[in-house]
Homo-oligomer: A and B are copies of this chain.
Amino acid sequence: GTGADNDLYINQAIVFIEDAIQYRSINHRMDSRSLWLYRWYYSRTCQWILSLTITLILALAFIEKPSSLTVTSDVRYRPPAWNPPCGLTESIELLCFLVFVLDVSVKSYLVGWEEFWKNKWLMAYILTLIVSLADWIVSLSFFCAENVRIRRILRPFFLLQNSSMMKKTLKSINSTLPEMASVVLLLAVHLSLFTMFAMLLFTRTKDGQQDKEWVVYFRNLPDSLTSLLVLLTTANNPDVMIPAYSKNRAYSIFFILFTVLGNLFLMNLLTAIIYNQFRGYLLKSVQSSLFRRRLGIRAAFEVLSSLKDAPANAQQTYVSVGALLRVLQKVEMDSRCKQAIMRSLKICSCDHLSAAQFQKLFEELDKDAIKRHPPSPEYQSHFMQKLQFAFGHPYFGYLGNVVALANIISICVVLVMDADKQPSERDDFFLGAINCFFVLYYLLEMLLKILAMGLKRYLSYPSNRFDGLLTVILLVLEIATFAVYGFPHPGWRPEFMGLLSLWDMVRLGNMLIVFRFLRIIPNMKFMSLVVTTLLDLVKNLRAFAGILVVVFYAFAITGIMLFEGAVGPLGNTSAVNTTYGNGTLKCGTYEQLEYWPNNFDDFAVSNWSPSLFPSLLRLFTAYLLCVNLICRWAKIYFVAWWLISSVIWVNLFVALLLENFIHKWDRRCHREPLSDIEYQRTVELMFRDVLEEPTEEELMEKLHQHPHLQLCR
């Protein structure tokens, strides 16, 4: 019937608009039941459950055997960790897998059969699930005794496939890979040519006294390559050249040439290439987001214009305002935007909207979210108004900053004076009394500010929230101290009582005070610019951070698989003693540098250890580490880690930072800062000036290609 048709059209329009808001693709099934499933799937609860599941399965690595639940990771002091019994983590895993199976089936159904075959991400998702489940079954049938669990390496994929931003970013990175590969190739050529040079320069000599350089760093091809590779990371910067340089000054030319060409030119060239390439791709991805938004809005217009209550006009199609209002009531969107659109509709006061008008209405979505602070309370009494003026004035805030600075300086002075004192000689009276006074001032400041601004306005500023929270915590800490240890007096040095000693409580208070000092940031213009840039960056960086998590996770699990226990065998106390006792050992080996906590024995430390690559690789020439770890694999592992995390990811980060900062800097001059208004900007808004609006033809062509929607015309 017509009514059912109309309902379907309204529902389709709702989903299209929601797709537009979320920058989602509109290529999904469009019948009533599918639409219901689609809205259910993208409802907040469902998405929240999915995110929780992903977090859960990723976090499992911390408690799975080998678990990270020890205070230290140092193999010398580490007690045997608690490992969950077989079946505990496995059953949680199974639960997660079931959620993923549900997720992938709903997704596949919604996308439709034809689209499914084109969607490589969905295929990979299913494949990952199958492999994971198979591995899970194998694991259980061995009663959790087997060590190689492929499904642990595959886990980050679940995080990756769930975020369209991350998939987009990965695509961008993928497009820059050929250029990056060229520079990496260039680096490899540079490295290999210099290695050959080095091997020809530093050879074994007949007398055996002069060839120290050869013995330590250039004994054979792998050693020479490693030495120069580590020189590229600057980790062994002076050490590698000392023996040769000590023989003859001229040898330094070789190392200077290598460093200048490799580090200064080629490495920075990589930055330049990544910046240049990535700049374009970020813009492109934002452009495609804009296209998706416009397409969703246009699709909503098209289905609404098919409604029977629209006037039949051969030339132009129209949408009735009533239908749009019906749609708007049911759409889940930011209430600010919804109200703004409703307001525009009322002002317009027309019955029918053309496509352009319709599109224009929804441009509200692209605008900056503007946040107004609530007004200050209006006092009747003259005295109160004067108080309000005095304590609402910026100068009162500056005074607070000066007091905070004075507090910091007093702590610093006490720290310097107490630096060399024995713990038993320390007198906590001075610091206790001072901090008591300062915390009282902070409390007074907070209360007066709330009086002047009203609680709502006070809390609407992030700096006040930060300030107030820390003041309250400090107050609680101070009261707790006095309750347990009494008021401070000269010679105030009580014994340990309760949860924390007095010394620890004072230290904690001091740390909070140092932390509270960060409230000065918004008062300094340049600092505030820098901090807002950094905060923006963090927002825009979520996709990058996700990819970094994926990489970290995969590398950490691989590290555990390859090197678990590798540092252990020699790490017991007796072995250390014999090692130290052996006078022939070179200075700077793994044991002597006491790198014990850097191993691959559990997930938490395995995440951290590879980032120490340069320092570790520096030691590879010392044979001790090579005996412990499987030498060649370890090298490949560390070099891969260094290339991906340190070289490529850091350069991507620099590119993004450059991009963000330059845009922000340019805008700083254009826009007058208004005191009461804050702008919230996203990466889409940053590029708004340079984005191109998609044309009508492009939109309609795309709409006609929709697999599940037959437009009337």
Interface residues of A (CB under 8 A from B): 68, 70-74, 76-77, 179, 182-183, 186, 189, 193, 196-197, 199-201, 203-206, 219-221, 237-239, 242-243, 245-249, 252, 256, 264-265, 268-269, 271-273, 275-276, 408, 411-412, 415-416, 419-424, 503, 507, 510-511, 514, 517-518, 526-527, 530, 533-534, 537, 587-588, 592-598, 604-605, 608, 612, 614-615, 650, 653-654, 657-658, 661-662, 665
Contacts and interface: CB of A to CB of B under 8 A. Distances in A.
Given A264-B650, A272-B662, A657-B269, A200 B415 contact: yes
Nearest to A261: B534
16 contacts: A182-B526, A186-B530, A193-B514, A200-B514, A203-B503, A220-B416, A221-B415, A238-B595, A239-B615, A242-B596, A269-B661, A272-B658, A272-B661, A276-B658, A276-B662, A587-B593
A268 B657 contact: yes
B197 A514 contact: yes
Contacts of A206: 423-424
Contact of A658 (B189, B197, B219, B275): B275
B272 A657 contact: yes
A203 B507 contact: yes
B246 A594 contact: yes
Contacts of A275: 658, 662
A203 B265 CA distance: 43
A249 B518 CA distance: 26
A261 to B, nearest CB: 9
Contacts of A71: 247-249
B423 A204 contact: yes
A137 to B, nearest CB: 34
Contacts of A239: 593, 615
A412 B248 contact: no
Can you tell how many copies of this chain the complex includes?
2
B220 A420 contact: yes
A222 to B, nearest CB: 9
Closest 4 CB pairs of A and B: A220-B419, A272-B661, A74-B246, A182-B526
Contacts of A73: 245, 249
A412 to B, nearest CB: 6
A276 B527 contact: no
A558 B575 CA distance: 48
Contacts of A662: 272, 275-276
A273 B526 CA distance: 12
Contacts of A276: 658, 661-662, 665
A508 to B, nearest CB: 8
Given A276-B662, A605-B249, A598 B238 contact: yes
A5 B36 CA distance: 96
A164 to B, nearest CB: 26
A504 to B, nearest CB: 9
Given A206-B424, A273-B661, A587-B588, A595 B200 contact: no
A511 B203 CA distance: 13
Contacts of A245: 72-74, 597
A389 B252 CA distance: 46
Given A220-B420, A419-B221, A422-B204, A597 B246 contact: yes
Given A534-B265, A657-B268, A507 B200 contact: yes
Contacts of A182: 526-527, 530
Nearest to A605: B249
B612 A412 contact: no
A339 to B, nearest CB: 38
A665 to B, nearest CB: 6
Contact of A612 (B238, B243, B264): B238
Nearest to A204: B423
A487 to B, nearest CB: 23
Given A73-B245, A219-B420, A242-B595, 15 more contacts: A71-B248, A73-B249, A74-B246, A203-B423, A221-B412, A221-B415, A238-B595, A238-B615, A239-B593, A249-B604, A265-B657, A269-B534, A271-B654, A271-B657, A588-B588
Contacts of A74: 245-247
A330 B424 CA distance: 90
